[in-house]
Homo-oligomer: A and B are copies of this chain.
Amino acid sequence: MLFEKISVVNERFEIEHDRYVGIRDGRIIYIGAWRPSGDWGETYNGHGRLLMPGLYNIHGHAAMTLLRGRGENLSLQRWLNEKIFPFEDKLNDRAVDAGTRLAIAEMLRFGTVSFSDMYFFCQTSAKAILESGIKCSLSRGLTVFDGSDYEDTLAYRDNLDLLKNYNGAGDGRLKIDLCIHGEYTSSPKVVEAVARHAKETGSRVHIHMSETKTEHEACKARHGMTPAAYFEARGLFDQPTTAAHCVWLEDGDFEILKRKGVSVAACPVSNMKLASGFAPVPRMMEMGINVGLGTDSAASNNNLNMMQDLALFALLYKGSTGDPTVITPAQALRAATQNGAIAQGRTDSGVIREGARADLVVLNIDQPWMTPTIDLLTNVIYSAQGSDVCLTMVDGKVLYRDGEYTTIDIEKVKYETQKETDAILAQL
């Protein structure tokens, strides 16, 4: 495909106009002011359109679309214990398959090209992911409440299977990460075992960390150190790790994340909805910590629209710090794209440059709410709507365009999701 006379977010996250961008074999082969020679297949008219890097949603639980809108306005503990956990106890492969496909459809529609997922029934979601064409760093949720060794858990056996059969599948689109759900849901020996397993297999790690004050303080009471210090001490951060939330970081924690190269998945919507607090994102960014963006699940968001969360990411921390100068539009867009790709170890993506993977989004910038254009990048962050995404491409393949999915039967997926949700609710 050849994008013709299109505006482009370049690798410095500035906008260039009237560019030709040529895609071949899944990669960006040409970017320039002149039409390249050769046969590029379809020519895409870039008038009134912006080509930007695809969005990386680096923390979520895709199949929890099944739980969208269940148990609103409850305290976190009541929400989990009365609404979420009993439903999850009844999950099955059919439901996870439907819910995951729905999540992927929603993500593609709003410009997400890759996501990091932590959940169960991962062999089922792996198939859905591969069929959809999206990228994913998938981790099997690990909680060990009964004192078992990691190697005795079902999660361990799942991890062996996933690493063997799915890691790197789909030309590298699917990657398998290891997981510790959180400090409070596993023992130190399990954390150490996962750290060893990650090191042996060269895996990345995905965890929840310091999401709520209660969790953060309980860790200190239990171990005499913060969750960040605890995970570092157990060796978990020796492999590249993404820590979701990080709302309650203390002074020394910033140094640990920086030193160990831990990426943070900021989840501003979920943190507001569950009243967890406002993460110290500007300070993390100032320290040079790699901060990406996550929606968290549709149960606590309640959608998977990264364009909406990107706007909020750029707004919220101004409010929480009282400083309107923090987080520029370019910083916000970089967080939602390149920083996410870095967190997933996909350094050939997340940015538009020759040679990079063609993981791209086309935005309609010819809209009333994008007028006037005084500063286009500012409009993209604060004014654009998720619905302005008119094309989402992964590895050069168009997966969503102008209301149509190329790999997903959306009516079937909606129907199946509602049916499976109703079936589970009927058991409760």
Contact = CB atoms under 8 A, between A and B. Distances in A.
Interface of A: 65-70, 72-76, 79, 102, 105-106, 109, 269, 271-278, 298, 301-305, 308, 311-312, 315-316, 318-319, 321-329, 366, 368-369, 371-376, 378-379, 382-383, 385-387, 410, 413-414, 417-418, 421-422, 425
A368 B319 contact: no
Given A68-B383, A102-B371, 18 more contacts: A68-B379, A69-B372, A69-B376, A69-B379, A69-B383, A72-B375, A74-B324, A75-B324, A75-B325, A102-B368, A105-B368, A109-B369, A272-B315, A274-B318, A274-B324, A303-B385, A373-B418, A385-B387
Given A272-B318, A318-B273, A425-B374, A414 B368 contact: yes
Contact of A328 (B70, B73, B312): B73
B68 A372 contact: yes
B382 A303 contact: yes
Contact of A79 (B102, B302, B324): B324
Nearest to A99: B372
Contacts of A323: 275
Given A275-B324, A315-B273, A318-B272, A417 B372 contact: yes
Contacts of A102: 368, 371
Interface of A is mostly: helix
A17 B325 CA distance: 47
Contact of A275 (B321, B372, B387): B321
Nearest to A321: B275
A366 B425 CA distance: 20
A379 B301 CA distance: 10
A385 B75 CA distance: 26
Contacts of A417: 371-372
B383 A302 contact: yes
Contact of A302 (B66, B376, B378, B410): B378
26 contacts: A68-B372, A68-B374, A69-B373, A69-B374, A69-B375, A69-B378, A70-B374, A72-B329, A73-B329, A74-B324, A75-B325, A102-B368, A106-B368, A109-B368, A269-B315, A272-B315, A272-B319, A274-B318, A274-B324, A275-B319, A275-B324, A277-B322, A298-B383, A301-B382, A371-B417, A374-B421
